[in-house]
Each structure stands twice: as C-alpha cells, then as structure tokens.
Structure 1
Amino acid sequence: MKNYFDVKGKNAIVTGASSGLGRQFALCLAEQGANVAIAARRVERLEEVKKQIEAYGVKCVVCPCDVTDSSQIKAAVDKTIAEFGSIDILINNAAAGFSTPALECDDETWERTMKTNVDGVFYFCREVGRHMVERGYGKIVNIGSFHCMVTMNGVPRSGYSTAKGAVLMMSKALAAEWAKSGVTVNVLGPGYFESEMAAKVTNAAYDEGIKRGCPMGRRGKPGELNGAMLFLASDASSYVTGQLLLVDGGWTIV
C-alpha cells in the first residue's frame, strides 16, 4: 500500500524547534523517517530535542539561529546542506506574539514582532528557496495562524494578526514565483494550540474567548497538527501551492 504522506529519507529543517509546535513538527518528521535540522536560539533546548530525534534512527543537526539575523539564517541553511547534502522540506515555524492594545504598543514590541514573524520567515524562504529552485524540488510550509484570516474579539491581536496576514500573502507570492521550479509554498494555519508562546499570553479572558469562539470549545491538542503538516510537507500535496490550510477547531466557520 502506498503511503502518500511518505517523507522517509527526506531532509528537513524546522525553525523554532526548541519547544512548542516546532519541536512537535521536528519529532513528527523524524518519526516518519526524515532527517531533521533544528534551528532556534536556545541551543541547550535544541540538544535535548536532538536526542529525541536521533532515537528514531535518523540524522539531526543543531543550528543555533536567531531568525531576525539573516546572516545566522544563511549559516543555518549552509550547515544543513553541508550535513545532509540537500534540503527537501522547510517548516518555517519560529514566531513571537504579544497581546498589547494597539494604543499601548511601543515601537520596540511592534518591530520585534515583525522581524520575527515576517522578516525571519522571508529570509528563511529566500535562503532555502534558492537551494530548492536550483534542485527543482522543495516543500515549504510556513506556519501561519487562523489569524491570517480573522482576529479575536476581546483580546488585542493587532501585531500578531498583521504579521500572520503578511505571511499568507508572502507565501502566495513566493508560490507563484517558484511554481514552475518544482517548489510549493503553503501556509499551515493553527487555531489556538497549547504551546509555550500561547502560555505567555493566556488569561481568563483569553480562555473564555476560546470556549466562546471555537465550535469545538477547546484548544488544539499535541499532535493534532501533524497530519496537516505532513500533507503539505510530502508529495501528497504535489499540486497544492499558495494555499492556507486551517486547523482551528472550526473557529473560522462561524
């Protein structure tokens, strides 16, 4: 029986892989037989994830990287290619968010959000995309959010929503540029999932908003994004590009 989601033997790089969704994506790819390069700022966390990845019998390379620094991104990509020989899959996951009312948001907070969520995503797409276009193959999955499409009533999301909306349009533009080069660029849009970043902005109003606004009435659980990620990262989605795949418990349907 053919496995349409097969990524065994593929080489992937996952950003923001030291914790949260990035760690989950990296472990999922490893479990399915892919070699995985993991990039993030917290090297000690990455070393822990590396041990878990290698337990699946695949290769792993640690790439210390601040995604707001394009030189560090280039170094991470070069290191991955040197170790693996190629990059087939990019899971562009690193992100930052805040829940500050717009009128109280200072320049530094805004700029940090844009540099991480928009600039960092583009820089990784550019560096990995250059390699993929030359090879004539590649699967880029940019991690967006259902905030690509909607915001949240009662919780300030101006910066995060702006950034994730930019990721969607960026991905569409890159998908159009690289479609004939064998490279697909898509966006995975999670709803509210349990993660380290989400924990930083969680409060009673936030939790109540999820219960009220999400038809399933809950956050996503660990592992509930893996199938969608594998679809976009594998050849199961060979004729899919420039699309947003929402995994949000039905939030955007009401």
Structure 2
Amino acid sequence: MNYQTGVGQRTAVVTGVASPRGIGYATAKRYAAEGWAVAALDIDGVAVKEAAEAISAEHGVPVLAVHVDVTSEDSVEAAARAVAESDLPPVGALANVAGLPSPVPFLEVSLDLWHRVLDVNVTGVFLLSRAFLPQMIEGGYGRVVNMSSVSAQMGGGVFSKTPYSAAKAAVLGLTRSLAREMAPHGITVNAIAPGIVDTDIRAGASDAENEARLSASVPLGRQASADEVAALYVWLSSADAAYITGCTHNINGGQYIA
C-alpha cells in the first residue's frame, strides 16, 4: 500500500518540469520523494529528459520524460499514449503546472499574444485533463490539480497583467465545473492560487529592486518557495484529500485573504 494514495504506487503526470527553479520541477521532485512514479512533461525535450534523469537518480522511482506542447491536441494525445504504453504504474494524479506569464499592458496586447497566453494557461489544462482523466477513471484513483494564480483573484497587481489574469480566472471556472463532472468517478479536481513565488518566471523582465518590492507587498514579507507550492500539489493528490474538490487553495503569504 502506498502512503500517499492508499492503493498501489501511482504515476503523477506533471507539466512544465524542465526548469530546475520552476514549480513544475519542484512538484515532480516532491511527488518522487513521496514514492510516486512521475511522467515529466515539457515543451523543452532536452531539458525535461535531464530533469527526469536527475529526479529518478535522487529518489529511486521511475521518471519518464515526455516532450509535449500543451497547446497542441495531437501533441497532448501523443503524450498520453506514451505514458499509457510505458512501464509506469497507472496514472493517479495530473498536476497542470505549465504556464506563460504576460506583463504586457492591456492596450499593447496583440491578438496573437492574447491567444498564446490563454492557449498555454487554459487550453493546456483542458487538453491534458481530457487526455489523462480516462486513465484515472479506468485505474480507480484520480486527482487533478490545476495552477491558477492570485492574479485571477486580485485582477492582476502582481507581475502579469490582463491576459494572464483572465486565463487564470478561467482555470478556476474549469476546475469547479470539472470537479462536478468527475465526482461520480471519485476523482477530485482542485486549483492552487499561488502569490509571488521565487522562480525564474520573471527572468529578464524584473530586477532586484522590483523583486524586493514584490516581497515587501506580502504580509509575511517574502516570496513562496517552489517547494512550498509543490507540497500543496502533492497533498491534494493524496488519499487524505479525498473529500476536497472544486476548491481554490490560496498560498500567497496573506497577499489575498478570502
């Protein structure tokens, strides 16, 4: 019996794993540390293979690297087939982490950028969920955990602006509706809404002064670590969280108190 699931070992599918300082990498690593097998997905095929090898070597669990474009139906379906046809245990969790920031002011947002931000942050969640939920239903255990943001709750005001806030708000609606549809199968669907997290997502568009300002805007006076967010992903995937579904879980240091 597996401590996390209450059943045999399961596979956690995690998107956006390639960056060593990203939430996806930290989440994949956390699942592995808790005994899950991992399917590590990312658009950077070379980097995700390196990440998978490092995580597997550190934690001694099977980790499969899969190249995927979360905005492409064909690519996502191919990734789901690759996982299903691999030697990994049945899929038990889907962590939709991959995302795209958008710090561009609204009046400067092109239609192409609008579509790109929504495609990565919302359509990706739709495609991955549609592709992997059948495997969880068949396997008798399932947890979907989606990445939203405090930006959706506050209407921006952090780093990314309107397209990102709109996309992350859409993730909340998708999460709640999908939770209702999946409940008869015993599958839970939840969203995480992080505040400011110490990752490279703002790389090239921020500096030390801005990072200090962002940290100072948080009542707890600091940014979250990627591992703190990862811990919530893994807990929501556990048997202990079996009666929690359709919820938004805030992890923002008091930046937004609902």
Tell me if both proteins adopt one fold, taking TM over 0.5 as the criterion: yes
Q: Which residue of 1 aligns with 2:65?
A: 62
Q: Which residue of 1 aligns with 2:17?
A: 17
Q: Deviations over 1:130-188 (max 9, x none)?
A: 22233332011111111231134385610110000000110100000010101110011
**C-alpha spacing 1:187/1:154, structure 2 compared with 1 (3 Å):** closer
**C-alpha spacing 1:223/1:207, structure 2 compared with 1 (3 Å):** same
**C-alpha spacing 1:211/1:61, structure 2 compared with 1 (3 Å):** closer
Q: Tell me if 1:140 matches 2:141.
A: no
| TM-score, structure 1 as length reference | 0.92
CA distance in 2, matches of 1:200, 1:133: 42
CA contact (8 A) 1:173 1:242 kept: yes
CA distance in 2, matches of 1:54, 1:21: 17
- Count of matched residue pairs: 253
Note the aligned Cα RMSD (angstroms). 2.2
Amino acid at match of 1:133: I
The offset of 1:42, in angstroms, is 0.8
**C-alpha spacing 1:181/1:227, structure 2 compared with 1 (3 Å):** same
CA distance in 2, matches of 1:236, 1:207: 35
Using the TM superposition, name which of 96-105 and 126-135 deviates more: 126-135
| TM-score, structure 2 as length reference | 0.90
Q: Tell me if 1:101 matches 2:105.
A: yes
Using the TM superposition, name which of 108-117 and 142-151 deviates more: 142-151
The offset of 1:5, in angstroms, is 7.4
CA distance in 2, matches of 1:239, 1:154: 32
Using the TM superposition, name which of 227-236 and 149-158 deviates more: 149-158
**C-alpha spacing 1:25/1:119, structure 2 compared with 1 (3 Å):** same
Runs of 5+ in structure 2 lacking a partner? none
State how 1:1-254 maps to structure 2 within 5 Å: 9-19=9-19, 20-55=22-57, 56-83=59-86, 84-153=88-157, 157-203=161-207, 206-207=210-211, 209-253=213-257
**What is the percentage of aligned positions where both structures have the same residue?**
30
